[in-house]
Structure formats: structure tokens, C-alpha cells
Amino acid sequence: MAEGEVTTIVPTRYWHRLGDGRVQCDVCPRYCKLHEGQQGLCFVRARQNDRIVLTSYGRSSGYCIDPIEKKPLYHFLPGTPVLSFGTAGCNLACKFCQNWDMSKAREMDILADQAPPALIARAAQELACRSVAYTYNDPVVFLEYAIDVAKACRELGIKSVAVTAGYMTEQPREEFFRYMDAANVDLKAFSEQFYHKICGGHLQPVLDTLVYLKHHTDVWLEITTLLIPGENDSEAELEEMAQWVAANLGPDVPWHFSAFHPDWKMLDRPPTPLATLIKARDIAVKHGIRYAYTGNVHYGTGDSTYCPQCRNKVIGRDWYVMTDWHLTDAGHCRFCGNRIAGVFEGPPGSWGAKRRPVRLREYAAATS
């Protein structure tokens, strides 16, 4: 096998045999029950030789260096570059998916790039990235690969970031997040009907993941809610959701309200008006959330971080570009000394808004 190539089909652990001859995948609450040769709903886990395998190990739809703010993570090593990649497949079927070319890919031919975990970690280090992000499609479906990459990263002092819908079961959840340092979890709505009708899933497992992350791990957590006109943006739902977040996760989990753009199977809805995002942010603030943001729009107030004690702007942002920085290296407000929640290690990075694609295979050849 040439350097940089990896086996793409690997055995998995979370499954069991059913009395009727089928094999059930236990990674997510879909619990796909498969006959020999069948794929799960996520397309990348399948039954082969009487067991469940992951068929996309080591393969990627591409690597890119992004600003960490784009994940979005606003309180985790601000200003630093993150080496981001995804594979294919997803365990939810959101009609509004903004990454459907990758997440809904049934064919592996979009997975053009191949990389063993150690190569990704080494590339991240040599490209001066502080972290690697498992993103674009949900890492829950390729958790064995994500975990191996995260282990290799940890050995080199590179952190791992999961961008996920959090739709998973208890044991895989515990194993997966043991290797993550930060997560942005989608809270897509606050109704079972939305999760069921629009995403083909359930709300409760997502709430379980959020509570688990906040109270049983050291993973730095931020939340994103994509607001879709007429689907999840009513005042009543936002009030209920904010109440739940404040009561169950506390005031210090940053919350990003982002704007919807018509995509995939949902082309009949208009983009989210700025007023809706501002309303959602105001409701979160009213319920005591200290760091509520608006995303995918130009609105400086909603992009920036304010000290909850003295109310001064401590991190100014214009989209992904940092415009002000008034924190100490350890994350204390320079105006009043209050500690801002988050992971701050030294001065902020200066990556800016750049997006730089990386071909790992060429990189391997060039650096070996």
C-alpha cells in the first residue's frame, strides 16, 4: 500500500444480532436493522460478513484550514486556524441541510482524499493549526476514524473539535467525546415534531448529549440553532428553548443563532430576516444566557462578546475577523477582571477569515 493510503472498511463495536437474523447498529437512535449487504441510513455503515463495518475510514471529502470562528466556536482559542475535514453520509435527513453534497452522498467517489490519522495530525501541526475539526458531515457516523485522528492529534498537542447534531446513543457518546476538546452541537429546534418531520429524528437524544457534555465532560461546548422562517422561529418555541438551555446548561454555554438560506429540499422558505435572529438573541439574553450570537449575517453587535459583569465589548468580531481584543491571556476582562467562559491559552490567533484548501495526499508526498 502506498504511503498516505489506508484501509477504508473497518470493523465497528456498537451493534448486536437480533433474533430474526438481522444485525442492529447501535451508534445512533436510528438503530438500523440490516440484512447482509445492506447499508444503514447514513450510507457509510453497512453489514458485511455478518457484522457492522464503517466503509469510509480514512477517506475524506477534502481538507481545509478555516478560522475556528467558522465552526462556529467563539470561546475556544479565538482567532486560530483549524484543519477541517468531513467524510460522507449523515444519520439525520434534514430537509434544509446546508452541506447536502457531502452529507447525502451515496457514492464514495466524492471522497477524493485519503489520509491515515497520523498524517492528519502531523499536517495540522506543520500547518500551525491548533486544532482539527470533524465537520461538514456528522462525525457520529465516522466515529472510529474521528477517534483515531483525535488520538494522533492529542499526542502532538493538537486539539479536536466536533461539529455535530449530537444524535447518538449513550455508549458511543461517551467514547467519542472522551477524545474531543470542544464541540459545537446543533440544537435544531425545540419540538419533537420538527425533529421528526424535518430531520427524521428525535429531540430527546440531542438534549441528552447537551446535558452529558456540559455536566459529565470537560469538552468546551457551544450550541447552534439555525432559524428557519415558519418552522422553528416562533416566540413561544424560542422562549421554551431558552428556558431549557438556561435551566439545564447554565448561562455560560455560548449560543449561536444562524440564518437559513434556501437549500436542498427546502427551497420554498425565504432566508431568515435579521430581525428574527435579533429576537432570538434577545430572548436568550432575557433568560440569562451570557453569550448569545447571531450568525451568517452582518450584525456587529451579535458577532461580538461582551463582558457579563461590566458590559464592555471584550472580543469584537466582523464575521470571522477579530476587530477588538480586551482579554488577558487567561481570558479575563481587561476592564474589570471578570473571567470570560471559554478556553483561552495565550494571545489570540490572527488567522482572520481565510479559507485555505489542503490536499493531504500531495502534502504527504511533499513532506515525507
**Residues with Cβ within 8 Å of residue 90, at least 6 apart in sequence:** 42, 97, 103, 104, 137, 138, 141
CA gap 105, 9 in Å, rounded: 17
**Applying CB under 6 A, does 214 fall inside the site for ligand SF4?**
no
Burial 268-284, CB ≥16 within 10 A → b, else e: ebeebeeebbbbbbebb
Work out whether 274 is an interface residue with ligand SF4 (CB under 6 A): no
Q: Which residues contact 74 (CB under 8 A, 6 or more apart)?
A: 222, 254, 256, 291, 293, 305, 315, 317, 342
- Compare residues 166 and 295 and give the one whose CB is closer to ligand SF4: 166
Residues 6 or more apart whose CB falls under 8 angstroms from that of 167 comprise: 28, 29, 91, 92, 138, 140, 201, 202, 205, 206, 209
Strand partners, 257: 225, 294
Enumerate the β-bridge partners of residue 263. 266
For position 244 contacting Zn ion by CB under 5 A, the verdict is no
Query: Using CB under 6 A, which of the segments 37-45, 149-157, 158-166, 205-213 binds ligand SF4?
Result: 37-45
CB of residue 172 vs ligand SF4: minimum separation in angstroms?
Answer: 8
171, 13 contact by CB (below 8 A): no
Q: From the list 27, 54, 82, 187, which residue makes contact with ligand SF4 (rule: CB under 6 A)?
A: 27
Name the residue nearer to ligand SF4 (CB basis): 52 or 158: 52
N-terminal to C-terminal alpha carbon distance within the chain: 15
333 binds, among Zn ion, ligand SF4, none (CB under 5 to 8 A by kind): Zn ion
Smallest distance, ligand SF4 to C-beta of residue 100, A: 16
Residue 25 binds to ligand SF4 (criterion: CB under 6 A): yes
Residue with smaller CB distance to ligand SF4, 25 or 213: 25
Q: Is 217 in the site for Zn ion (CB under 5 A)?
A: no
Which residues fall within 8 angstroms of residue 65, CB to CB, at 6 or more apart?
81, 82, 83, 84, 127, 129, 351, 354, 355, 356, 358
Supply the minimum distance, in Å, between the C-beta of residue 42 and ligand SF4: 3
For residues 228 and 261, what is the distance between their CA atoms, to the nearest angstrom? Answer: 8
Size of the site for Zn ion (CB under 5 A): 7
Per the listing, cell 435544531 goes with: 188
Q: How far is the CB of 61 from ligand SF4 (least distance, A)?
A: 17
6 binding ligand SF4? (CB under 6 A): no
The answer to whether residues 302 and 281 touch, using CB atoms and an 8 Å cutoff, is yes
340 is an interface residue for Zn ion by CB under 5 A: no
Could you tell which of Zn ion, ligand SF4, none binds residue 309, using a CB distance below 5 to 8 A set by kind? Zn ion
Smallest separation (angstroms) from ligand SF4 to the CB of 340 = 36
The least distance separating ligand SF4 from the CB of residue 292, rounded to whole angstroms, comes to: 31
Q: Which residue is nearest to ligand SF4, using beta carbons?
A: 40
Q: Judge if the upstream peptide bond of residue 72 is cis by omega within 30 degrees of 0.
A: yes
Q: Is the Cβ of residue 4 or residue 139 nearer to ligand SF4 in the bound state? A: 139
CA distances from 306 to 75, 140, 322 (A): 12, 33, 14
Within residues 25-84, the interface with Zn ion by CB under 5 A covers none
Interacting positions 282-311 with Zn ion (CB under 5 A): 307, 309-310
CB proximity list for 128: less than 8 A, separation 6 or greater: 81
Of the residues 23, 42, 129, 185, which one makes contact with ligand SF4 according to CB under 6 A: 42
As measured in angstroms, the least distance from the Cβ of 351 to Zn ion is: 25
Residue of the chain from 338, 339, 341, 348 that contacts Zn ion (CB under 5 A): 338
Q: List the single partner that 30 binds among ligand SF4, Zn ion, none, CB under 5 to 8 Å by kind.
A: ligand SF4
CB of 325 to Zn ion, least distance (A): 13
CB atoms within 10 A of CB 233: 21
Q: Is 141 in the site for ligand SF4 (CB under 6 A)?
A: yes
Separation CA 81–CA 156 (nearest Å): 16
Type and span of the H or E element at 117: helix 117-126
* Interface with Zn ion (CB under 5 A): 307, 309-310, 333, 335-336, 338
Which residues contact ligand SF4 (rule: CB under 6 A)?
Answer: 25, 27-28, 30-32, 40-42, 45, 91, 141
